[in-house]
Amino acid sequence: MKYLPLVLTNLFRKKTRTALTAGSFAVALFLFGILTVVDGAFQQGVDVAGVDRLVVLNRVSIIQPLPLSYRDRLARIPGVTQVTFANWFGGVYQDERNFFPQFAIDRETYRQMFPEFVLPDAEWQAFLADREGAVVGESLAERFKWKVGDRVPIKGTIFPGTWEFNIRGIYRGRRVQDDTTQFWFRWDYLDERKTFLKGWVGWYTVRIANPDDAVRLVKAIDEHFANSPAETKTDTEKAFAASFVKQMGNIQLLIMSIGSVVFFTLLLVTGNTMAIAVRERTRELAVLKAVGFSDGFVLALVIAETMLVALVGGGVGLGLAKLFTLRGDPTGGLLPFFYLSLDAIVLGLGLALAVGLMAGILPALAASRLRVVDALRRI
């Protein structure tokens, strides 16, 4: 601690330069934070997928339905312990820009299949008792200022007409990553009102007794329905979520590329700044060594200065990113999980420190190798 004033006074000798360098870190780490959030939003479905759940789709495509009769056949396959199903609704609330996912769900089994979504029993019972009942996630409710008892009209796009729902419950996620932007209503209501595809569902989700048995069961299910009018394509929930992300392109590669370029540029800029700073202080560093400060001390001094700038700048950038994410999804529903986690903040600070270390190491080595007599003679 006794050396801290030495580090700080050195940093404050050129306030503008230090502020600009710290600002570079702040901008880079802000960008890192936002990119991480965007990546996390895309990966969220993959991250929270249940390890013991499989998704069964129509082999032709995700938009092709499956017969309701598959429910009981799936339940009889050894290793399957629970089955539920759902249907994509694809309606519009007031304006097409107000996108959020709407699912017609099996009221008897859906809640048990997804225990990560929590709502009071009384609300669930009210939902079960109301044919037009709906349950919405808390983010969605907050977004449209909905509360229990509100009546919400949704215009069907796949299933024509205006569909009116009564909000009977608001669920929340057990984990911060859980998607709370969904809108659920009863599949029996949909099946009753729709004029086509009666008795068909969008997809099934099954729970399996042993996650290690997933590969075998995926094969067993698809073989079971082979050569039927609606063959199936089964995947683990994780693989299913990942395939969705893949459809949008290699988001992670894009984000990694942008992040790498930003950090590499930051490294060059900071390294150059520190090299100039050390060159300007050649005589002072030589004096420090003359009075008895070791090469290692001078090395540590320069690195400490760079890393302190990196830490402060990075901290500011990540803090701003966190503030930005506190306002929630800025896209109006495309990125429901818009959250900067503590892990990402720690990783960001670690990256900032690593860049600080790398940027400072060469100037620091040059400073530590400085020969006192040469340095004092040079100026």
Partner 1 sequence: MVRIDGQGNGNSLIRARGLGKTYQRGGEATHVLQGLNLDVDAGDFVAFMGPSGSGKTTLLNLLGGLDVPTAGSVTVAGDEITRMSARKLTAWRARHVGFVFQMYNLIPVLTAFQNVELPLLLTHLSKAERRRHVETALAVVGLADRMHHYPRQLSGGQEQRVGIARAIVADPTFLLCDEPTGDLDRKSADEILGLVDRLVTEHGKTVLMVTHDPLAAERARVVLHLEKGVLVDTVTAGRAR
Which residues would be at the binding site for partner 1 (CB under 8 A)? 2-3, 5-6, 9-10, 12-13, 283-284, 287-295, 371-373, 376
Q: How many CB atoms lie within 10 A of CB 148?
A: 18
Comparison of 279 and 283: residue with beta carbon closer to partner 1: 283
Closest CB 367 distance from partner 1, rounded Å = 14
24: three-class secondary structure by DSSP: helix
Comparison of 99 and 293: residue with beta carbon closer to partner 1: 293
SS (H, E, C) 213-230: HHHHHHHHHHHHCCCCCC
Closest CB 12 distance from partner 1, rounded Å = 7
Comparison of 108 and 284: residue with beta carbon closer to partner 1: 284
Closest CB 280 distance from partner 1, rounded Å = 11
Closest CB 363 distance from partner 1, rounded Å = 18
Nearest CA to 158 out of 192, 199, 110, 190 is that of 190
Closest CB 357 distance from partner 1, rounded Å = 23
**Backbone φ and ψ of 155, nearest 5°:** -90, 120
Q: How many CB atoms lie within 10 A of CB 228?
A: 13
DSSP 139-153: HHHHHHT--TT-EEE
Helix, strand, coil content of the chain in percent (nearest 5): 55, 15, 30
Q: What is the spatial distance between Cα 364 and Cα 1, in angstroms, rounded to a whole number?
A: 20
Comparison of 104 and 286: residue with beta carbon closer to partner 1: 286
Comparison of 19 and 197: residue with beta carbon closer to partner 1: 19
Q: What is the spatial distance between Cα 65 and Cα 322, in angstroms, rounded to a whole number?
A: 41
Closest CB 369 distance from partner 1, rounded Å = 11
Q: What is the spatial distance between Cα 338 and Cα 376, in angstroms, rounded to a whole number?
A: 56
Q: What is the spatial distance between Cα 273 and Cα 228, in angstroms, rounded to a whole number?
A: 69
Closest CB 142 distance from partner 1, rounded Å = 51
Comparison of 164 and 295: residue with beta carbon closer to partner 1: 295
Comparison of 149 and 296: residue with beta carbon closer to partner 1: 296
